[in-house]
């Protein structure tokens, strides 16, 4: 029985953490679990009421940045402030619930905030991490901090040096998470001890909820005996899952009032290139214009979600772009990727974007930037075979427009890639069905509480 379970979810404020943790919260609510969701006040203020799971209780706290991260605040300071304020706030949330006679049975925390596990343990509550990256990435960090740091560090200057980790696909130095590389910017170096802390706190609970599904990362899930993975993904909107069970998603999408959906409805099946590089990556205006020119020259319709209203407005005024494509500063990505008109996804290969593309059966042209994205790109290209990595220009790493055009043409015309994408889409759907592996794993997690 799960009807009287009470779970506290604590999420870091980044979009890549909030989105999957809210979707996880909705899954729990649908299974009769009482869920309290805690993150920064600035995030809760921005949440759209219509997309917030019904019945979810919020316990926001001030992280010292109530208007969001400011340009003059370093990422290290922002993460530190979130930890300092969050730890005391979460401790108070737990204590207040206990004093009111409504204690939490469990605490689930996301990536980047391993301190939440220690807060939970100090208050007699068992913690479990909701890992917002791939199982493969967690395995790599575990190996790095257990016996492989010397091998990786001593060969860091050679991007082609082979790294063979037990149970994982053959990798090179260049395929590893950016935080472990010599080329990692100094301002990101503080994240290495954060990831080490993630590995260390697994001693409190070695069970890991992961936004993946068993068939996708079969070997990675079994690579390390000391870690017990429970793949409960893909964590996508329930509406998208419902649309996958139809022969066409057209009826579902026609309910939307958004202009980009109406625009997509006018395009032939699998004809549109969807472009989005996430919410963190930044490009120069020259780089953006170069991408735009090559998209026009591809002679294919495209939908480009830029994330910067100023740049989106400027590019939207270019007549050639307006004729061939549509540029928006925001769209519902999971909804767009599930639309029948999309034939290719040009992406930074963040984990949420990767999972959403896989569950929608969309092949990818990937341009990784940092963190786990290069590893994700490796898996997309060489393991799952649903896409191709865009090559950077030697020397400065710039994304050249001709390379974009080359990769888009390959992805849009490769029938084998399309078949593989469809295969993973079907396996993802099966994992989420009643009796599917992800559904069974989530129920097992609740039963063991």
Just list the catalytic residues.
Answer: 17
* Contacts (Cβ under 8 Å, ≥6 apart) of 239: 252, 335
CA distance 52 to 91: 24
Helix (H/G/I), strand (E/B), else coil: 275: strand
For the chain, the residue count is 449
Closest CA to 442 of 109, 29, 132, 138: 29
C-alpha separations of 101 from 28, 108, 236, 264 in Å:
21, 20, 34, 52
Residue 110: phi and psi, rounded to 5, are: -95, 175
C-alpha separations of 354 from 62, 73, 216, 350 in Å:
31, 29, 12, 6
CA distance 26 to 166: 35
CA distance 87 to 261: 41
CA distance 11 to 150: 32
Q: How many CA atoms lie within 13 A of 156 on its CB side?
A: 15
Residue 164: phi and psi, rounded to 5, are: -105, 105
Give the DSSP letter string of 110-129. ETT-THHHHHHHHTT-EEEE
CA distance 372 to 201: 20
Helix (H/G/I), strand (E/B), else coil: 50: helix
Based on its alpha-carbon atoms, the radius of gyration of the chain, rounded to whole angstroms, reads 22
CA distance 223 to 139: 8
CA distance 6 to 124: 14
Question: Per the structure block, which two tokens stand in for 334?
Answer: 């999971």
C-alpha separations of 353 from 123, 134, 234, 302 in Å:
35, 12, 11, 17
What is the torsion angle, in degrees rounded to the nearest 10, for the CA atoms of residue 180, residue 175, residue 222 and residue 139?
A: 10
Helix (H/G/I), strand (E/B), else coil: 6: strand
Helix (H/G/I), strand (E/B), else coil: 38: strand
Question: Per the structure block, which two tokens stand in for 321?
Answer: 């772009």
CA distance 224 to 168: 10
């Amino acid at each position: 029985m799960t009807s009287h379970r009470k779970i506290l979810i604590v999420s870091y404020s980044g979009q890549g953490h909030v989105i999957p943790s809210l979707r996880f919260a909705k899954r729990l609510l649908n299974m009769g679990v009482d869920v309290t969701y805690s993150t920064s006040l600035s995030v809760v203020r921005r949440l759209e009421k219509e997309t917030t799971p019904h019945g979810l209780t919020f316990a926001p706290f001030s992280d010292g940045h109530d208007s969001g991260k400011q340009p003059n605040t370093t990422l290290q300071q922002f993460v530190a402030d979130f930890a300092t304020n969050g730890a005391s706030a979460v401790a108070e949330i737990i204590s207040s619930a206990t004093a009111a006679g409504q204690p939490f049975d469990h605490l689930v925390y996301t990536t980047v905030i391993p301190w939440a596990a220690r807060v939970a343990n100090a208050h007699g509550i068992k913690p479990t991490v909701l890992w917002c990256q791939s199982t493969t990435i967690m395995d790599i960090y575990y190996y790095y901090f257990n016996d492989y740091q010397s091998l990786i560090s001593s060969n860091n200057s050679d991007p082609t040096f082979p790294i063979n980790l037990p149970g994982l696909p053959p990798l090179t130095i260049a395929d590893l998470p950016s935080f472990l590389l010599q080329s990692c910017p100094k301002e990101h170096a503080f994240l290495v001890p954060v990831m080490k802390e993630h590995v260390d706190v697994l001693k409190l609970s070695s069970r890991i909820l992961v936004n993946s599904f068993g068939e996708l990362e079969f070997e990675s899930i079994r690579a390390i005996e000391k870690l017990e993975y429970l793949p409960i993904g893909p964590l996508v909107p329930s509406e998208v899952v419902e649309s996958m069970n139809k022969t066409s998603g057209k009826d579902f999408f026609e309910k939307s009032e958004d202009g980009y959906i109406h625009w997509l409805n006018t395009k032939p099946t699998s004809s549109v290139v969807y472009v989005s590089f996430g919410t963190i990556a930044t490009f120069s205006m020259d780089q953006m214009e170069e991408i735009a020119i090559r998209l026009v020259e591809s002679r294919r319709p495209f939908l480009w979600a830029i994330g910067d209203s100023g740049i989106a407005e400027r590019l939207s005024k270019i007549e050639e772009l307006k004729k061939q494509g549509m540029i928006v500063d925001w769209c519902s990505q999971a909804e767009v990727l599930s639309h029948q008109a999309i034939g290719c996804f040009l992406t930074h290969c963040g984990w949420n974007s990767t999972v959403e593309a896989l569950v929608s059966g969309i092949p990818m042209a990937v341009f990784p930037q940092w963190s786990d994205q290069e590893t994700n790109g490796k898996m997309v290209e060489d393991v799952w075979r649903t896409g191709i990595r865009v090559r950077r220009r030697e020397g400065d790493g710039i994304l050249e427009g001709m390379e974009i055009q080359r990769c888009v043409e390959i992805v849009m015309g490769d029938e084998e890639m399309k078949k593989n994408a469809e295969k993973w889409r079907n396996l993802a759907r099966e994992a989420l069905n009643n009796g599917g592996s992800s559904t069974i794993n989530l129920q097992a997690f609740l039963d063991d509480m």
